Amino acid sequence: MARQSIEVSEKAGVRYLHFSSDWVQGAMRIQRPNALELPYTREMMAGLLLRAAPWPRDALLIGLGAGSLAKFIYHHLPATRITVVEIDPQVETVARLHFRLPDDPLRLRVLIADGADHMLHADSRHDCILVDGFDGQARAGALDTLPFYQACRARLSESGLLVVNLLGRERGFAASAERIGLAFGGRSLLFPSCDKGNTIVFATAGEAVDVAGSELVSRAGHWQAVSGLNLQPTLARLRQAGRLQRDRLLL
């Protein structure tokens, strides 16, 4: 892929990453550099409600952006090994210079590679695979194909979860969700949209997700207390959308 024009801007105490446009690819509140500033990034960490600690032991991120997810996991889940696959070396440089991405290759490894090729040819297994990769025109390309999602399924551990940010619901959103469901034999869960542009999908092919509503509330309270991550709005939307069956979240 050709190198993109990358810009960094600041407004009201928040630093933003842009690719070739005004469209925001990542954000960091300068006074809270390890917090998840954008709502969809908080939603992508909702797997912490679906699986009990100590989960995940190993996380793979496709797409680095401003490094928000990598930093959150690094600082708040110290037992988790993190691998990030990023196609553009400029993005890693900007994340380190402007967004305080940690330099700790023993725990946080950044690979400059094509995310789709990596998934199709690697043999590693992960407890969590988070996919958030787009170009400057908000296109996911090969990261939104049936072979890619099938490769993700093959790379998940028994307790593994795939988490995908689907951007631009007006442009193929339903088809993307359908491809994920097909790759995972129907075991996918579309979260109610957390903002006007992002919807998060969770999928698994291994150990079932079966969590009582009271346990979801307890886990949300725990993570808010220890990390500042507020998943209460996510729980409220799940309930309102009828995603809980007999007060249990099932996947």
pLDDT of residue 83: 98
Catalytic positions: 132
* Phi and psi, residue 178, nearest 5°: -65, -40
State the Cα–Cα distance between residues 11 and 5, nearest whole angstrom.
20
pLDDT, tens only, 144-202: 999 999 999 999 999 999 999 987 555 567 899 999 999 999 999 999 877 767 889 99
pTM, rounded to two decimals: 0.95
CB crowding 68-83: b at 16 or more within 10 Å, else e: bbbbbbbebbeebbbb
* Phi and psi, residue 163, nearest 5°: -125, 125
pLDDT, tens only, 114-151: 999 999 998 999 999 999 987 655 677 889 999 999 99
